[in-house]
Structure formats: C-alpha cells, structure tokens
Structure 1
C-alpha cells in the first residue's frame, strides 16, 4: 500500500488542479491583476470594500467598536464610529499594500524610512538573536517587506487550513522573509534565535491563561501571552520593539519603521510585570496610528471570575 508524503509548506501538489481548487486559482489571477492597478484605483477600491465590510461584518464591527470604546474612553461616540470604520478601510488598504509587496514591490521605492536600525545591528554584532516585538498591523506582509529593505527578518506564522491558499501565501512570503517558522515549532524558533536571526513576533492577542497572565492593556486587564519570556530566556536573544505604519497623504503614502532600544532585564523574575511592560510598549506604538491595528480581534475575550465581561 502506497503512503502519501505529508504536505510540506510551499510544496505544489497535483491535487491542487482538482475542480475544488479552481475558485482559488481564479482568485489568485484576480489578485495579481489588482496588484498592478494604480494606487489611486487601489485606494478607491479599499474605501469601497472597507465600507462594505464595516456594514456587513456585523460581529467584527461590534468587536471593533467595543475595543475602541474600552481603549480610548476619551473618544466620543462619533469618533469611535469614525475610527472603527477606518479600521476596516485600513485593513483593505493593507490587503492592497500586501499585494504590492508580493507582486509589485517597486511601488515602495522611495516611500520607506527607518529609525533605530542600529539596535538590531548592535545586538547581532554581539552574537545575539533578536525577537522583534510587534503587533498585528493592518499593513500585513507589506510591513515585513519594508523591513526587509533594511535587514533580514524571519516570521512566525500560522498555516492556513486550505493547502493551496497556504502554498500561495508561503511562496509569496518567501520573497520577503528569510525563514517562515510554524507557530508550533518552538524548537525551530529557538534555533533561529540562537543562530542570530531577527524574528518578527506579535505577543498582542488573547490566547487564554494557559499561555499567559492577566495584565493591563490600555488600562483594562487582558490575557497576555508570556511565551516570549521563555524564548528569550532559553535563546539569550535581545527583545527589541518594532513598529511600522503608514503616514502622510493617503493618495501618496509613506511608510516608517520604528525600532526601539533593546529591553533590559527582559525577562525578569515577574511575568506579570513583564507582560505589563510589553503591553505598555504596544499601547504607545498603537497610539501613533490607532486605526492601523486589527481591532476586530477580541482582545479582551478571556474574563476570569471577578473580571467584568467586555463583549
């Protein structure tokens, strides 16, 4: 009896030509066409699609509005509504920016600036790996691409459920990242850090308390992952905050990469203090461009006994 080899990321399979995948192939061609459109057209489409998503993705819209109400209590109802809508528009802009990074990378020429690159260079010069503490930005892989213009990043990723979609994303990302590390491959992640690599890692989502602790995020307790503490302790890597964002005229945008100094005494002996510290760094980053963050994720979904329910 023949045995099928397990699927390897980025590996083509003849089964991808079966009719059940034809819709995805058509979508791939369509996305490639979108990537060569002028930015003025992409920008208009993003606004249309963002407004449609805001109207019809009711659950995501409610989550976004609630998150912004909790994190920005100083905003009026009108400001919350306006910024919530902009989150969806920025998400759609990020899709086009990612397509440009994959298929039309020349579009970013002369649009990118960076601040603090010396912090990564100094750590690597001392033989350290670098764990880049980032966020789930709506820029998606466009952020990784602009970083790759200045240094060689690796990325931690979660495989797609659809094998053909996973193939597409994996191969497109291969043009940006040196290595793509499965989120379950902790040994591989530690190995790359010990080898001096810079790895983009986002500790900003709620995965419950089996993988984290409760720590304040914009003044409200949130389940905060602590896995990076273990990674840093084992690998002796430097923890360096990284943030990238779009700014300037939306019709002729620019992109900036902000790299902050390596965190001293990270990890410490207090995991709650470390989680609080990282959350505060992320807060400060998000205040630069608040709507360029995936607020439609339920950041406060874990509510242990004694904590007020958010959603």
Structure 2
C-alpha cells in the first residue's frame, strides 16, 4: 500500500467497483472457490502450481538455490535442487493452508499441538508484552491461525500496493489477529507491547544497513535488522522465539507450535551480538523444517565493500 493512499485499512470504497478492480474481484471469487476444495485436491493443485512456478519464475528459482547453497554447504547439488523444489511446493501448500485458515478454519481441528505456551502466559502474567521472534514461513497466515487457538496474537504487516487486495487481506486477517500493525508504525508497536500484547515479528529479512548491522546467518554475514532492540528496550517486553511448522504425512498433515523460553539480556549493549543471537535462533528454527521458509527472498543482497556478492 502506497503512503499516498488515504483509505482506512479494511474499509470498503465504492471506487473498488471500477473496472480496473474487476480482475481482483474475479481472483477473490476464484480463491474462495479453491478454499472449499478437499485437501486432497488442494494438495494436487499445490504440486501442479509449484511445478509451474519452478519452471517460469526463474529469478526466484535461482535465488532459492543460491540461498540453500550458502546456508547448507553440506548438501550436494542434487540435494540443494531437491530441497529448492520442495520450497516451491511448501509455498503453494501454505497458500492453500492460508485460504483454509481464512475461509474454512474448521479444517485445522485436531491437527495442532503446542509446546512452551507457559512462556507467553508467564510473561503476560508479569505485566509484560511479548515480542514473538518468528520467521517468514511458507505457512503464512495459517501459522497465525493455529497460534490463535491457544493465545491472542497480534501481527506486524506490510500493506499491499493494491488497495482492494489490501482490504481483502486485512479483513481476512482480522478473523485471526486482534491487531494488525503497520511495519512503519513504531509507536503503535510500542503501545501494544506496553499494553501486554503478544506480537508476531519476523526480523529475518535484508533491509540494508541503514536499519541493521552485519551479523552471521548460517555462517555468512547478512544485513540483520535491529529495530526489535529498540522495541524491547522501550517497551520492556519479553523476546520469545516462536516457530510453527507442518509435519507428518502431507496427505494428512499436522502442525506444531514451538515456543521457546525468553531470550536473556535482549537487548544488550552490543547490537552485533544481539543480531547474531537472534539469527542463531532463526537458524535453529529453520533447521527443523528447512523448506518451509521463504528462501526465494534475497537474504544476502546487501554486500558492503570487501564482501563477495552472493547473487
């Protein structure tokens, strides 16, 4: 969503009925129809769409392969390609899982387990907000939905450029999250944390060194955001790692939520050390289900002078 847009997130506008939005409306109806399909059909469609994406999205494919080569040097080239293809499959599966979370949430009944909920509960009982350190998972909003079955999460999000699409996603997410906080709204983030909210936050993308520092990620220096340090320092919130993933047979999947103990002394006086520790937490999470991460983002795009280019 552009900063020039003046509509309220989630609010319908009559301009959305103009011809320029008809394609989006058709896509919305199509997605709703996909959501009512049985999982067996959704799963087959996900594999077919993943094959198409693998074939035609050449830039994303190359980025995924390169990221896996850098982060998992112990894998052979054949293993890298096998896992890269599975990233595309998991992304498409996650799209259908998100549609199910939005339009058919009962599908998840009796499929979810959780570990470590007491860490969030204890922090909130002590009057603390909770910054949930997570990742950009291919499960997308399905992960938020399964978490919402056990506690009340808020989410940090980046608005869409298309205002109609932004309205749709905002309204769908409103069934999962009590609060959706714009990633640029630092005051809102701090306010909700001070009010004891648990906010899902993913400090795992490269936004350059104006917003971060270089810190190792899978052993390779990567631009790592540090905004969460300021959030934690001002709000006195607890930093609690959160990870969710699919496991078991793909034909009858199960989902697990892993909540780890609060990170000690975060933030410290050393922002590079803090970034390194958070990156290590994310590494350990991703090793559980390596292909359920959005590896098609250029995690190592920032290369200061003296660093070799990755892509």
Asked if TM exceeds 0.5, the reply is yes
For residue 6 of structure 1, report the CA deviation from its aligned partner.
2.5
Alpha-carbon distance in structure 2 between the residues aligned to 1:281 and 1:188: 26
Residue 171 of structure 2 is matched in structure 1 by: 171
Q: Deviations over 1:109-136 (max 9, x none)?
A: 0000000000000000000000000000
Alpha-carbon distance in structure 1 between the residues aligned to 2:165 and 2:33: 17
What is the aligned-residue RMSD (CA, Å)?
0.9
Residue 235 of structure 1 is matched in structure 2 by: 235
Alpha-carbon distance in structure 1 between the residues aligned to 2:209 and 2:6: 32
Residue 61 of structure 2 is matched in structure 1 by: 61
Alpha-carbon distance in structure 2 between the residues aligned to 1:36 and 1:239: 37
Determine helix, strand or coil for the equivalent of 1:113: strand
Residue 207 of structure 2 is matched in structure 1 by: 207
For residue 18 of structure 1, report the CA deviation from its aligned partner.
0.6
Alpha-carbon distance in structure 1 between the residues aligned to 2:269 and 2:140: 33
Residue 180 of structure 2 is matched in structure 1 by: 180
For residue 151 of structure 1, report the CA deviation from its aligned partner.
0.3
Residue 146 of structure 2 is matched in structure 1 by: 146
* Aligned ranges 1:1-311 → 2 under 5 Å: 6-311=6-311
Determine helix, strand or coil for the equivalent of 2:110: coil
For residue 308 of structure 1, report the CA deviation from its aligned partner.
1.1
Alpha-carbon distance in structure 1 between the residues aligned to 2:126 and 2:284: 28
Alpha-carbon distance in structure 2 between the residues aligned to 1:51 and 1:271: 41
Alpha-carbon distance in structure 2 between the residues aligned to 1:78 and 1:245: 24
Count of aligned residue pairs for this structure pair: 308
Q: Deviations over 1:264-284 (max 9, x none)?
A: 100000000000000000000
Alpha-carbon distance in structure 2 between the residues aligned to 1:177 and 1:268: 30
For residue 263 of structure 1, report the CA deviation from its aligned partner.
0.7
Determine helix, strand or coil for the equivalent of 2:309: coil
For normalisation by structure 1, the TM-score amounts to 0.98
